[in-house]
Chain A
Amino acid sequence: EAGVAQSPRYKIIEKRQSVAFWCNPISGHATLYWYQQILGQGPKLLIQFQNNGVVDDSQLPKDRFSAERLKGVDSTLKIQPAKLEDSAVYLCASSLGRTRQVYSGNTIYFGEGSWLTVV
């Protein structure tokens, strides 16, 4: 079974430039997450999709970050304009969704991450 795919793996941009990250979740996974992980910290949720609807984007800096999942499958996260403090790993993850929640734990599976350096 193919895992969560992300691209690009690495990106270096100057502040005030824009960048976009792409994610393709595990086949059949209805829930897709974007996390931001700054070096030395745990992952912080930016946005959670259930199919193509947003479940939680309370921690997404909406003045500069945007995300979409138009057809309920792959997703794009965009940052415009980037700031120095956006330097982090952007992790995409997916899980089955609302069914079979408790007994399976509804585990989330992570992609390899997209490493962003803003200079």
Chain B
Amino acid sequence: QKEVEQNSGPLSVPEGAIASLNCTYSDRGSQSFFWYRQYSGKSPELIMFIYSNGDKEDGRFTAQLNKASQYVSLLIRDSQPSDSATYLCAVRGNYGQNFVFGPGTRLSVLP
């Protein structure tokens, strides 16, 4: 059974700081890696995905992937109180394999 692990948090950062969220996965055959944001009482929404080693930037968000270490992270620059949510890491294998989600990290950005 594939496993995806995240620190449950809460992770508290002051407004304007960089929030760093981490995720590790057990299946070396995993191909695609996703970060979803979930506000309380809402369904998950995609922030970004990454499938190659290195960094991928989208606005204030940067995803980092290191397949050798089986590690993926999400950096949020200039954190805003509206970024306060649970961030879910999801991992997908080869064709047809399902997404496996981590337990999520709760982020709190303090004004």
Contact = CB atoms under 8 A, between A and B. Distances in A.
Interface of A: 33, 35, 40-45, 48, 50, 55-56, 89, 91, 98, 101-102, 105-113
Contact of B44 (A45, A101, A110): A110
Contact of B45 (A35, A43, A102, A110): A110
Contacts of A113: 43
A110 B51 contact: no
Given A102-B32, A106-B32, A45 B51 contact: no
B12 interface: no
Contact of B34 (A40, A91, A107): A107
A55 B98 contact: yes
A106 B34 CA distance: 10
Interface string B64-81: 000000000000000000
Interface in B71-99: 88, 92, 94-99
B101 A44 contact: yes
17 contacts: A33-B98, A41-B103, A41-B104, A42-B101, A42-B103, A43-B88, A43-B101, A45-B99, A55-B98, A89-B43, A91-B43, A91-B44, A102-B51, A107-B34, A107-B46, A108-B99, A109-B46
A42 B88 contact: yes
Contact of B102 (A33, A42, A109, A111): A42
Given A42-B88, A109-B46, A110-B45, A98 B96 contact: yes
Contacts of B101: 35, 42-44
Contacts of A98: 95-96
Contacts of A44: 101
Interface string B12-51: 0000000000000000000110100000001111100101
B91 to A, nearest CB: 11
Contacts of A48: 98
